[in-house]
Structures are given as C-alpha cells and as structure tokens.
Structure 1
Amino acid sequence: MSIVDIAARTVKNETSESSDDNARTIILAGSKSVGKSHLLYCFLDKNDTPRETLVLEYSFGRKSSQKQSIDKTICHVWEYGGKLQMLKSVLTSIPISKKFYYCIMVDLSKIKAIWNTLEICIQAVKENYTNSSNFPELIIIGGKYDIFKNYDSEIKKFICTTIRSVALICNAYLIFYSSKESQLLRKAKEMFYTIGFGTSVPLKEKNTNFAKPLIIPKGSDSWESIGVSASTLEQVKLRHLSRITPETEMKLEVTPLHSSHPEPILDSLVALKYEELRNMESYDPSIDDQLILLQ
C-alpha cells in the first residue's frame, strides 16, 4: 500500500468522526529546505526533530469543540517536499475536505529561484482546482526572512514588488516568516492554528513596507500601493526575469515513465514512488533503466 493510500485511509477514518463543517485540509508546498516541516511541527506541537520530506508527508491535528467535547475539528495537513515539476500530479491524489487552504512557501534567501517556485505552485493549483467547487484559499509565505532582511535595499524592494504583485493577482494572503525570529514564528503558528481549527485566515495586521516583514491580508493591497501599473501574471514574470536571472540547474536526463495502468491515478502513485527513490541519498542514477523495466 502506497504512502498516499495509507494517508487517504487515515483521512477517511478521522473524517468519519467529524462533520464536513469541522474538517480542514492544508497543503503546504514550495521551496526545498525552506522550513516547511519546522513550521508544521510547531503548529502541531510536535517535539521531535523534523526530518527531510522526500515526497509527500501526511499528519493531522484534532481539537475538541468548546461547545461539545464530543464534536471534534480535524485538520488534515499535507506537506509536499518532492520536485516541483511533479506537484500537479501529486495534488490529484490528495483527498480534500470542505475548508481548504493551499500554502506556497518560497525561500527568500534564494532570489534566483523565487519565480520558478511561485509559478509552478500557482499553475499546479489552478490546473487542478479552477473548475472545482473546492478552490482553496491561497497563502504565500516568504521563508528565511532572517537572511533576506540583510540583502541590498533595492533587491528587497524588487522582490517584495514581485511577490506582492503575484499575491494581488491571485487574491492570496501574504506573510513573511522565519523560524529564527520568535515574533514571526508566533504569527505564522497562530495563522496555521486558526486556519486549521478556526474559520478564516487571521491576518488582521498589515505591513507593506519592504524594510520590514510583509504581512498583507488578501484584497487589501493595490497596484498603486505596490508602485507599478496593473499587470497580468505574465507581465509580472517578464518584469521579474528582466532583472533576476533564474538559476540554471544541472539535471540528470531521466527517461519518463509511460502510462501503463487503466486508472491515471495509479500512474501518478507509481511516479510518486519512483520520485521517492530518486530523492534518497543512496540513489544511483544508473538504476533508472531497471525502474523502467519494472512497469
């Protein structure tokens, strides 16, 4: 049984204990090693040390209702740590409850990778849920602010302009975060606790000053405040890439997996398992040919 199958069965069992109104789903995706696991461990009050998320991790939190201790709110949390190119297929495998939050965490310390992370994560959620009745609330989290705050002032202003523009276009909430700064950690943890067990995203404060950590509730920003003309996502991309050259990665040539099962979902799960193998530290690229023969 695959990781997703086991997690889906757990979700079903836990959901049976609560009504749809008391169920939440949080999906957290984005940059690798930006602190996604650490933030979720803080939110769920886990004391053990986070380990690297290879592909997809599932956990849940449960909170009794204040009115009736029998009635429980269940928060299903999915963290994606695999290659972003596979995110779209992985999302199709995740069961979604009524209240749904999709969080994109970008590494502010790696400015050359910011656009790629934003673009892939946003495209994945749009392609999977635009025609669905369950389109999520979008939250953009800028991680590793403790490093970003020391960058050149003009670079910080430009990056903030890009991220604010994306958040405005996508009607998303925006918050900057660092596990090294207690105030930012507390605000992020409180936000997750409220979306996990409350009714909305609790961003009441607002800061648009790029010299400080951004915190902008959805619908509260404007092109005039950002300081650029109204733009499409493609125009924001062109403006961003005209100044920030994206990083080039040395990639191994991997033979794509062919569809070999009658149900597309099975091909997605097979791809997940292969991706998990390829992310292992002991992975040997020469094994790809053997993996293909196992289909």
Structure 2
Amino acid sequence: MPKISSDTLWDLAAAELQARESRTGDDGDEDEDDLVEDGNLCERTVLFMGSKSGGKTTILLRCLDRDEVPKPTLALEYTFGRRARGHNTPKDIAHLWELGGGISLSDLVQIPVTPLNVSTVSVVLVLDLSKPSCLWGTMEKLLQAALIQLEKVFAVPPRSRDSRASKPQNQSRELLRILPKDHPDRELISPFPVPLLLIGSKFDIFQDFESEKRRVICKTLRFLAHYYGASLIFTSSKSETTMSKARSFVSHLAFGTERGKSMSADPSKPLIIPSGMDSLSQIGSPPTIDVDIGTLHARNPLDLWKKVFERVFPPESTLEHKELKDPAKDPQYSEALIDSMRAQKNQELEQYKREQAKSWKGMALET
C-alpha cells in the first residue's frame, strides 16, 4: 500500500527552499549562468516601459509570437513566456511586465522590481521616434523611476533579498560585460545596474524626417545607449525584418539566448547596436543645428547632450502633459458603455446636489 504523505503545502515549499539553498552554497553566491546550465528551471523578469502609445504591446506580442490585436495597456499588466532549452528539460520562464501610461504611472515600477528577483531583472525602454519632442523627457523620467526603485532594492539587507544582488557587484558585472578593461570609455560611462535595451519604435514614420533631424536623433540615442551600457535597436511594426531583430534582443534578456552581433549605425537605416560595440569616438560630438555648444552651460556630458537635443527638439509644454489625477478622465482607459453610465450617474448626483441645496435654503428662510 503506497505511503501517504502528511506534509502540508507549506512543509513541501519549505523543503524545496532548503534544497535550493543547499544547492546555492553557504555564501549564497550562485552565478546566474549556473542556473541555466545545471538543468534547473531558470526564471527571469523583463519590464517593458516607454512612450505612451509607442508600440510596447505590439513588440511584446510579436516577441511571444502571439497573433493578437494590441489593446491599450491598463496601468501595469503581466504576462509570461516559456522556452525549452532541449528535450526532457524544464522550460525557462520569463515574467513579462508592461507599464502603460507613459510617464504618468512610473511609480508602479516598484511592483515588478523586487528584492527577490532583482538579480534577474532587465528593462526594455521603448521610445516613439515619431515624437522626438517627448523622447528625452520620457527616457529620463522612466529610467530615473527604475533607478530609484533599484536603489531601494539594493539597500534592503541581504537576508531579505536575493543574496546574489548588490549594486556595486551588479555595476561592476555590467561594466565588465559591456566593455573590456582596456576600453577608453570605461571611465566615461555609467552603466545601468541591470541589463537595458532601448528600442526606437515607428521607424516607418521616422525615416521620412529631414536627414539632419534623423542624424540628431540617431546620434543622441547612440550616446544614451552607450552611456548606460544598453543595446539599441530601431523597429517598425510594418517591417517583419526589424521586428525579428528586436525579438532576438528581447529573447536574449528573457531567456539568455544569443542576441546577434551585427551592427548598423547608418541614420538612413534602422539602427542595430549591441551593447559594448559602440564608442564615443565613433559617435562623435553632440550634433549641432544652429547651436553654439560653447554657450551651453552643462554640468556633464549627459547634460550637454540633453541641452543640444532640446535646442533642436524643444520639449512640449508641461501643461500639455499634466498628469491626470483622475484616471477615469484619461482617454486611454475609455469604455463607451461604462462612460455613458458614469455620465448618467454624475448627472443624477448633480441633480441631487441642487435639490438638497434648495431644501437647505428653504429651511434657512423658514428659520
């Protein structure tokens, strides 16, 4: 007669955790590559964020080979992908998060970036090339939000988070992964603490821009990607070739597959620049169109590039991009049936307020 286990679900979970810790070792410093090679299940987290209506969902669905019509992202949405490394092996899992709303909901990055998964987190930043006036502001706001959350996670005591993750260790690993020790730019860049991919979307619209404007955008994004130690690629949902290239870069972050080593820096063609394959000497100085760099008072190279870029593409008025305090009034989340019912209830509420106001006035006159 088979033996019936009396262990509860919590007992089994505790036993599994102890088994994993024993495989990790006493110092808790198991390399991420070991998780892939020893046949165990490997899980990674990829956070997609970027320009509002910039094509994040389209790119995500293409990467998952899902033939679905993209829908507006409601705040923060989760999905996952699985991939088998071979026969009779467990499938690796990629936890995929998509942040909607552009910069308005940037605080939600604290949900997918946690102390428990920080060592396997990567970020995909999608920037709408058809709206260059919003490009720098979107990049700056979202990367800052992600960096603040990463700082909080790295500040958590080691026992409360993934013991493999620490900010100095992650930054040194990223720097070694991106540039060799003898690279002249090693002291001039500030790699993002976790792997970062910049995707310029809507290249089909961008390619119709004036050549000088294309050159400014391309050089600026190349500088940003190199400065943060990121890969850079341009895509268009109307081009299967560019989407296939983007899919390989995302798959590299999600499953550790090969990303390809081809490079294209021609502004008239979609850029493809893997991290570590560019240099400040190849990028050149900030592009100037009727701008005297000597008149710009910049604190550092990043600030200088920002000032030059915003001289060419002035950022839109902050009033036009004022964050909506009431999400119900955001057209991104409109629903015809619900909105009509809400409008009717609002009218009934206003009518009720007027009637109550009249009754109170009547009572006041009587007294």
Q: State the TM-score bracket (shorter-chain normalisation).
A: 0.7 to 0.9
Q: 1:254 to 1:183 in 2, by over 3 A?
A: closer
Contact 1:24 1:196 in 2 (8 A): yes
- Which of 146, 170, 174 is equivalent to 2:204? 146
Contact 2:57 2:98 in 1 (8 A): yes
- Which of 273, 293, 315 is equivalent to 1:216? 273
- Which of 96, 99, 105 is equivalent to 1:86? 105
Contact 1:54 1:276 in 2 (8 A): no
- Which of 141, 155, 163 is equivalent to 2:221? 163
> What value does the CA root-mean-square deviation take over the aligned residues?
2.9
1:251 CA displacement: 5.2
- Separation in structure 1 between the aligned mates of residue 322 and residue 140 of structure 2, nearest angstrom: 22
* Gap regions ≥5 residues in structure 1: 1-11, 256-273, 291-295
- Separation in structure 2 between the aligned mates of residue 192 and residue 39 of structure 1, nearest angstrom: 9
Identity of aligned residues (%): 32
- Separation in structure 1 between the aligned mates of residue 324 and residue 43 of structure 2, nearest angstrom: 39
Equivalent residues, number? 251
* Gap regions ≥5 residues in structure 2: 1-12, 21-31, 36-41, 155-164, 171-192, 287-299, 350-367
- Separation in structure 1 between the aligned mates of residue 140 and residue 273 of structure 2, nearest angstrom: 20
Q: State yes or no: 1:73 paired with 2:123.
A: no
Higher relative contact order (CA closer than 8 Å, sequence separation 6+): 1
1:130 CA displacement: 4.2
- Separation in structure 1 between the aligned mates of residue 123 and residue 212 of structure 2, nearest angstrom: 30
- Separation in structure 2 between the aligned mates of residue 23 and residue 191 of structure 1, nearest angstrom: 17
Write out aligned runs for 1:119-268 (5 A): 119-130=140-151, 132=154, 133=165, 135-199=193-257, 202-228=259-285, 232-248=301-317, 249-250=319-320
2:123 aligned counterpart, secondary structure: strand
1:242 aligned counterpart, secondary structure: helix
- Which of 331, 334, 338 is equivalent to 1:281? 334
1:59 CA displacement: 0.2
- Which of 102, 108, 118 is equivalent to 2:139? 118
Contact 1:82 1:275 in 2 (8 A): no
- Residue deviations 1:69-101, cap 9 Å, x none? 3x22010000111241431x2111225534221
- Separation in structure 1 between the aligned mates of residue 84 and residue 222 of structure 2, nearest angstrom: 36
With normalisation by structure 1, the TM-score equals 0.76
1:170 CA displacement: 0.9
Contact 1:168 1:221 in 2 (8 A): yes
Q: Which amino acid aligns with 1:92?
A: Q
Contact 1:27 1:101 in 2 (8 A): yes
- Which of 128, 140, 143 is equivalent to 1:107? 128
**Whose Rg is larger?**
2
Contact 1:102 1:137 in 2 (8 A): yes
1:198 CA displacement: 2.2
- Separation in structure 2 between the aligned mates of residue 32 and residue 239 of structure 1, nearest angstrom: 24
